[in-house]
Amino acid sequence: MNEAAITDLITRLADDALIIAHRNSEWTGLGPMLEEDIAFSSIAQDKLGHAQALYNILHTNFGQPDPDTVAFTRNEAQFRCCHLVELPIGDYAFSLIRHFLHDAAEWVRYEALEQSTVVPLAQLARKIKGEIKYHLFHAKTWVVQLGAQGNEESHARMQSALNETFPLALGMFEPSEFDGELAAAGIYPGEGQVQQRWLELIAPVLEQATLRMPLVEGADLAASYGGRKGYHTVHLQPMLNEMAEVYRIDPAAEW
Amino acid sequence: MYGNLSIVDTPAGQQAADDPELLAAFEARIDRGEKIEPHDWMPAEYRRQLIRMIEQHAHSEIIGALPEGTWITRAPGFKRKMALMAKVQDEVGHAQLLYSAAETLGKPREAMIDDLLSGKSKYSNVFNYPALTWADTAVIAWLIDAGAIINQHTNAKGSYGPYCRALARICIEESFHLKYGYDNVVTLATGTPTQRAMLQEALNRWWGPIMHFHGPPDKVSQHTEKLVRWKVKMATNDAMRQEFLDTYVPKIWELGLTVPDPNLRKNEETGEWEFSDPDWDEFKRVINGDGPCNAERLAVRRMAEEQGRWVRQALRKPNHAYVAPLS
């Protein structure tokens, strides 16, 4: 099996988890209510753990550096995260819609990865899925609450956040040159199939939230691609600089 | 994390006298070591002082999340990033517990937040100082949390049931923070010369606020004998400061760090620690709004309140009446 295909897949998953964890943690102390501060922090901690575990697979099984080195010393061109996770937290409506769209995709991915022929990845997927279940439950509850059971303003804010976020969300499924190979080897079904299942998962929730899915039959929405090839938004490198500010004082030191 | 128990405000005007029979029964219960619960009769002054105290404690937790919270995004390595996220999350959780405890006395959370933002209600003075480097977060997590544990352990023996129960839970989490802070401090103290220097500088910066933490000396602190009798105030500021110094100064010295006070020593005859008088004028100035970060802390909190208002309004059910929670 082509090792590059597997490491590319795991790097994408890990980088998404690390960057979204970092972004979600930025709500600490700033949430619309204390309970949401706490929820976003819990979710961030889980996702940081997922990133670390995925980098650990790369370290243990594929000869890559340790998780700290991988996470804290690479530059943006070496990252394979999608654009969706890179954006600053913005308004709560954006962070919530991102949380919903992103975690629904994670759910679909890890559900598929449970069957992966890469054993350590399949084992980890089972563990991670148990946590994503609650992340998605949290996201769905709030999306429906603010979409359908709030007021006119909350509905409008949610709909416009959804409209703005959707092209970025489609960027999560940027096709990979390894898709065919990964599917044939029973490692991962490929981004096309994952995107299809994702649409099926989010559609009934958006309907329940009385929100209109921006992707309509026949319309061509430009997906925000490039992240999986190392081309990123202007937000990633400054975030990485901030993340590594202390670590880079002395990367050889123990912190 | 919380200190400043000493900020006891004096009643604005003469309050209606409490029924002497009810008051006697209330005081007898406290003497017997019983806890007072939300629906029990209590003197108006007891209620007022407790709301003020628990509310200030809750504010201290959410404001206290800010100086350390800004370092979550810069924490070096997975281990520290994860631990700091969890630690600051705990502090926000403490605020939630404490606002609930204060709400049992009849003041809604929104009203408490309003009083924080208007400056009417105070919070612990230490959070008006900046965390300039990563080492500052280590010193805060170790020594400020240590000071808070002494304060909170003492208050957990107080008379108001919901506050005591909240404090018991808070103290368990705070002792983990202290372990985290100490581990972080030891790593820096035994690390590279740069790390060590960073730590010593942070300790120098924080020593003043740490000495202020338990409030002005008893000889000038205005607290009433009644609050002690009602077990609202449980220990003197000086006693708590002595306990802090006795436990932590030897540990600081053991790490080869110095304390920026040439007069700090334990008097073996009296068993008491002697130290230079911290600048109590600065303490008063900072409490009254003129510290390095007062404006910034409240501005951040105000921004969060304003930006999140639409979310809270969308949750509001006009037909639901406010009910104080039971704790």
Which chain A residues are closer than 8 Å to B92 by Cβ? 28-29, 34, 37-38, 41
Give contacts of B313 with chain A, Cβ < 8 Å: 151, 153-154
Tell me how close the Cα of A236 comes to any Cα of chain B, in angstroms. Answer: 13
Q: What is the ipTM of this complex?
A: 0.96
- Interatomic CA distance for residues B250 and B245, integer angstroms: 8
To the nearest whole angstrom, how far is the Cα of B247 from the nearest Cα of chain A? 25
Query: Which candidate from B74, B78, B311 shows the least CB-CB separation from A245?
Result: B74
- Judged by DSSP in three states, B265 sits in strand
Say how far apart CA A232 and CA A86 lie, in whole Å. Answer: 8
Query: Using CA atoms, how far apart are residues B70 and B53, in angstroms rounded to an integer?
Result: 27
Contact B308 A92 (CB under 8 A): yes
CA dihedral (A40, A43, A49, A50) positive or negative: negative
Question: Contact A146/B313, CB-based, under 8 Å?
Answer: no
Better-predicted residue by pLDDT, A195 or A221? A195
- The one-character DSSP state at B144 is I
Closest CA to A83 of A179, A174, A159: A174
* C-alpha span between A107 and A103 (Å, rounded): 6
For residue B74, the chain A residues in CB contact (below 8 A) are 242-243, 245-246
Cβ under 8 Å to B: A residues 39-58: 41-42, 44-45, 48-49, 51-52
Q: Report yes or no on A226 lying in a domain.
A: yes
User: How many separate helices (H) and strands (E) can be counted in chain A?
Assistant: 9, 0
Pick the range with the lowest mean pLDDT from A25-34, A91-100, B7-16, B238-247. B7-16
Q: Is A150 on the interface with B (CB under 8 A)?
A: yes
> So what's the pLDDT on residue B318?
74
Rounded Cα distance, B61 and B223, in Å: 23
| Cross-chain Cβ contact A28/B69 below 8 Å | yes
User: A54 pLDDT band (50/70/90 cuts)?
Assistant: very high
Two tokens at A196?
A: 């299809």
Interface probe for A, chosen from B85, B90, B201 (most Cβ of A below 10 Å), is B85
pLDDT computed for residue A242 by the predictor: 98
Tell whether A32 is within 8 A of chain B (Cβ): yes
Distance (Å) from the alpha carbon of A184 to chain B's nearest alpha carbon: 34
d(CA A214, CA B149) in angstroms, rounded, equals: 52
Q: How far is A84 from chain B (nearest CA, A)?
A: 18
Give the nearest chain B residue to A154 (CA atoms): B314
Contacts of A71 in chain B (CB under 8 A): 78
Q: What is the model's pLDDT at position A17?
A: 98
Cβ contacts of B99 on chain A, cutoff 8 Å: 34
Q: Is residue A51 included in any domain, yes or no?
A: yes
CA terminus-to-terminus distance, chain B: 21
* For testing contact with chain B, the best of A37, A152, A249 (most B CBs within 10 A): A37
Q: What is the pLDDT of residue A2?
A: 86
pLDDT value for B317: 81
Using a CB–CB cutoff of 8 Å, tell me whether A245 touches chain B.
yes
Tell me: pLDDT of A232 over 50. Answer: yes
Please give, one letter per residue, the 3-state secondary structure of A161-208: HHHHHHHHHHHHHCCCCCHHHHHHCCCCCCHHHHHHHHHHHHHHHHHH
Parse chain B into domains and list their residue ranges.
29-315
Look at B314 and A247 and tell me if their CB atoms are within 8 Å. no
CB-based contact, A92 to chain B, within 8 Å: yes
Task: Identify the band that residue A248 occupies on the pLDDT scale cut at 50, 70 and 90.
Answer: very high
* Contacting residues of A for B76, CB less than 8 Å apart: 72, 244, 246-247, 249, 255
- Chain A residue with CA closest to B90: the answer is A38
A131 inside domain: yes
Using a CB-CB cut-off of 8 Å, the residues of chain B touching A153 are: 310, 313-314
| Contact between residue A230 and residue A78 where contact means Cβ atoms under 8 Å apart | yes
CA B296 to chain centre: 19
Whole-angstrom CA distances from A83 to A26, A91, A138, A164, B184 are 17, 17, 23, 13, 34
Number of C-beta neighbours around residue B67 at 10 A? 24
Element (DSSP H or E) covering residue B267: strand B265-267
**Alpha-carbon distance A140 to B281, whole Å?**
52
User: Residue B293's closest CA among B83, B81, B70?
Assistant: B70
Smallest CA–CA separation between A185 and chain B, in Å?
32
Q: What are the residue ranges in chain B where pLDDT is below 70? A: 1-16, 221-224, 322, 326-327
Question: What's the token pair of residue B109?
Answer: 């959370």
Domain count, chain A: 1
CATH number of the domain at A169, please: 1.20.1260.10
pLDDT value at A218 more than 80: no
> What percent of chain A clears pLDDT 70, i.e. is strictly above it?
98
Which positions 192-231 of A are in contact with B (Cβ < 8 Å)? none
Distance CA(A48)–CA(B176), nearest Å, equals 20
pLDDT tens-digit map of B204-218: 999 999 999 999 998
Which of B98, B116, B310, B316 is most worth mutating to test chain A (most A CB atoms within 10 A of its CB)? B310
Residue A74: give the domain boundaries: 3-249
What local confidence, expressed as pLDDT, does residue B89 receive?
97
A145/B65 touch (CB, cutoff 8 Å), yes or no: no
Q: Hey, what CATH class is B29-315 in?
A: mainly alpha
Better-predicted residue by pLDDT, B13 or A54: A54
Report d(CA A15, CA B4) in Å as an integer: 44
Chain B within 8 Å of A95 (Cβ-Cβ)? no
Amino acid at A24: N
